[in-house]
Amino acid sequence: MLKYLVWHKCAYCGAEFRGSPKRRFCSPTCRRRFRSGVAVRKRLQTDPEFKRRSLERLQRWKEMHGCKKKGEKAEEGKRRVIL
């Protein structure tokens, strides 16, 4: 039984652990994170529509973030006027 336990390096976080030769990850969390990352990267490479939508979403988020900051600054200005 013990001879089937071998040392591995986790493919996601790089931690060393002992387990069955089939295991590649130190924990189910690492496996899930690694798998989801691989799936997204694969889809970005093979699916142009998905890539376009991802970039659009990122752009929208950036714009939203910028607007929020500008809004905060504007409120600050108003407050200064009131004081």
Candidate list 4, 7, 13, 57; residue touching Zn ion; CB under 5 A? 13
15 vs 64, beta carbon nearer Zn ion: 15
Rounded to a whole number of angstroms, the minimum distance from the CB of residue 42 to Zn ion is 20
Among 8, 9, 10, 56, binds Zn ion (CB under 5 A): 10
Report whether 17 contacts 10 (CB < 8 A): yes
CA terminus-to-terminus distance, the chain: 76
Using CB under 5 A as the binding criterion, the count of chain residues that bind Zn ion stands at 6
Interior CA angle at 56 toward 62 and 65, to 5°? 15
Under the criterion CB under 5 A, does residue 26 sit at the interface with Zn ion? yes
Residue 30 binds Zn ion, judged by CB under 5 A: yes
Q: Is 31 exposed, middle or buried (0-12, 13-18, 19+ CB in 10 A)?
A: middle
